């Protein structure tokens, strides 16, 4: 993508009412339309969505294809896509506005500081779809299913709240299963190492991103895990 095109997207996204951005990791805070500061922690339902429906986060959402797809499937639920790249979020945010999907929003920030923008028990579910698997052992803590990130999620996820992982990377899935086994607070509720070998277990899995299409075309199998990370998991 050319620098000129990126700058155009950065400028355009400043006018989007469904996008919030954090520009300073050292002093975390969100801004909305025209760079106006906003305080949404603990108040997403009241101040943005203006309803009482549960909130699902999609982490490392890229262009927001999955978050938008979820919003289409479930109009009575709220969705927030999170990614550090503003030019990626532009695509999903623009589509949501064009389609009048008021139940999806986007946040540009590093996931490491996500607890600054969501309060305890504010999030019902988390989706992680085709994130960077960080295969090098030295970057283990950057994997979004690592113990480090699970501790972050515990600060915002409701008791029994679900975490969904959909990915093609065998090593990341194996790492996640090992992480769950080693933490007594976690409970694996469902495992499918080839979701397209039979009927899809839940409608959410029918959404396919550009990356998933490429992985399938390359002959890779798509895996799915569903689990909880806190002391009071709901039944499967």
- Is 57 in contact with 37 (CB distance < 8 Å)? no
Q: How far is CA 19 from CA 33, 61, 219, in A?
A: 8, 13, 35
**Residue whose C-alpha is closest to residue 66's, from 104, 109, 108, 13:** 104
State the CB neighbour count (10 A cutoff) for residue 57.
Answer: 27
Tell me which residues are annotated as active site: 132
| Dist. CA 172–CA 27, nearest whole Å | 31
- 6-13: list long-range contacts, CB under 8 Å, 24+ apart: 6/87, 9/86, 9/87, 9/90, 10/86, 10/87, 12/90, 12/94, 13/86, 13/89, 13/90, 13/93
Q: How far is CA 170 from CA 149, 176, 221, 222, in A?
A: 19, 10, 9, 9
| Dist. CA 79–CA 65, nearest whole Å | 12
């Amino acid at each position: 993508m050319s620098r000129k095109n990126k700058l155009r997207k950065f400028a355009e996204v400043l006018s989007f009412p469904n996008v919030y951005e954090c520009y300073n990791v050292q002093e975390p805070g969100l801004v909305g339309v025209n760079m106006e500061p906003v305080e949404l922690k603990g108040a997403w339902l009241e101040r943005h969505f203006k309803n009482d429906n549960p909130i699902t986060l999609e982490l490392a959402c890229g262009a927001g294809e999955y978050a938008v797809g979820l919003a289409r499937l479930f109009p009575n639920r709220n969705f927030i896509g999170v990614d550090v790249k503003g030019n990626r979020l532009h695509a999903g945010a623009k589509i949501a506005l064009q389609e009048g999907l008021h139940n999806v929003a986007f946040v540009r920030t590093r996931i490491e500081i996500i607890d600054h923008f969501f309060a305890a028990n504010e999030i019902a579910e988390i989706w992680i779809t085709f994130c960077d698997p960080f295969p090098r052992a030295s970057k283990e803590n950057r994997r979004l299913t690592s113990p480090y990130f699970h501790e972050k999620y515990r600060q915002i996820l409701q008791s029994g709240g679900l975490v969904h992982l959909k990915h093609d990377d065998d090593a990341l899935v194996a790492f996640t299963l090992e992480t769950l086994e080693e933490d007594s607070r976690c409970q694996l509720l469902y495992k499918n190492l080839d979701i397209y070998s039979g009927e899809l277990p839940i409608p959410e899995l029918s959404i396919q991103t550009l990356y998933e299409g490429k992985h399938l075309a390359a002959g890779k199998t798509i895996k799915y895990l569903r689990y909880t990370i806190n002391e009071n998991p709901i039944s499967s």
